[in-house]
Amino acid sequence: MRRVELIRTIGTYGVVIALAALVLFGFLRYDRFLSTFNVMSVLRYNSMFALVSLGMCFVIMTGGIDLSVGAVAAMGSVASALASPYGLAPGLAAGVFVGLAAGAINGLLVTRAHLLPFIATLATMLAASGTALLLAGNQTVSVSYDSGFIAFGQGNFSIFPVPAVFALLDYMLGSVVLNFTSFGRTVLAIGGGEDATRLMGLEADRVKFIVYLASGGLAGLAGVILAAQFGAGQPIEGVGWELFAIASVVVGGTLLTGGMGSVGTTLAGVLLLGILFNVLNFENGLGWISLSAYWQSVIRGLFLLVVVILQAKLAGTRVAI
């Protein structure tokens, strides 16, 4: 029990302390690091990753994994771009609908076909990637600039980016669901021991289905933001998003084995990785170093490796290879 509490404490405070330290470092080292433009740009861009990470957080807390979120987001961006000439509402609905459809397929494969989440979501990832390319004709799909659709990605509520506001509202809802509902308690119970959850009479399959459904829907919403923010549906843009999401969730203290996690620290993990890449951009601007965008993948991998090994050491278990 002490080890579990130690992991929870590190997950809660460690990522927050690291985030605060990184912001302080950026403020002291770079001009305009905390300028309104830079802060809002970071929030706007990382809102997409925040949404897929929220869905991934719930999936991982059940002891599962969702490898399809990046491909589903790309498919959602294409679907929303194709529907954008009809207005914001149809564009939004199209992207979210294809995400929910992919999430439903994942949920059925895991709960009804009893496939391992890794295999089920890998199959969906491949199918979603191919579908996105087919819908887009193997090219980017321009959105309509006359229907008001781009306001969802490029607009503001006061000074706050619309995507960031939606992401924050989703995180607030996710926190309430996890901490104050029987659904949230069942999510954690499944991750702690699915067989025991069934013996207690809890509807494990229904909850797992909803979790994968929500993950797909959030990925589809992230795809809508992608299309609206960059002015095009991009069928290959989601490559690696699932790795960012997994890294953010695990850095936030959620156990890969399930049964323990936090929505709030997942958001802190997203911001930590997002601001770290922002710091690299500022550092490149100073001319002291020159790191390409590919270093982002290296850093994600290192973060994930270090945190998983730390979790395994604290829990007294082996890291599965």
Q: What are 86's two structure tokens?
A: 């009809």
Of all residues in the chain, what percent carry a pLDDT higher than 90?
64
DSSP 143: P
* Structural domains counted in the chain: 1
CA triplet 76, 81, 83: central angle to 5 degrees? Answer: 95
Phi-psi region of 292 (alpha: psi -120 to 50; beta: other; left: phi over 0): beta
Determine, yes or no, domain membership for 280.
Answer: yes
For the CA atoms of 98, 99, 101, 105, the dihedral, rounded to the nearest 10 degrees, stands at: 140
**Three-class SS state of 15:** helix
Tell how strand 156-157 and strand 232-233 pair up: unpaired
Residue 38 domain-assigned (yes or no) = yes
Residue 128 lies in domain: 2-315
Would you say residue 133 lies in a domain?
A: yes
Look at residue 244 and tell me if it is in a domain: yes
pLDDT digits (tens, 9 = 90+) for 8-39: 666 567 788 888 999 999 999 998 999 999 99
In a domain, 320, yes or no: no
Bridge-partner residues for 232, per DSSP?
Answer: 142
Structure token digits, residue 233: 């549906």
Report the alpha-carbon distance of residue 153 to residue 81 in Å, rounded: 12
CATH assignment of the domain containing 311:
1.10.3470
Indicate whether 226 belongs to any domain.
Answer: yes
User: Per the domain annotation, does 117 fall within a domain?
Assistant: yes
Count other Cβ atoms within 10 Å, centred on residue 297: 12
| Per-residue model confidence as pLDDT tens for the chain (321 residues) | 455 565 566 656 778 888 899 999 999 999 899 999 999 999 999 999 999 999 999 999 999 999 999 999 999 999 999 999 999 999 999 999 999 999 999 999 999 999 999 999 999 999 999 999 999 998 999 999 988 899 999 999 888 999 999 999 999 999 999 999 999 999 999 998 988 888 888 899 999 999 999 999 999 999 999 999 999 999 998 888 998 899 889 888 888 888 888 899 999 999 998 998 888 888 877 766 666 667 767 776 776 677 667 666 655 544 443
321 found inside a domain: no
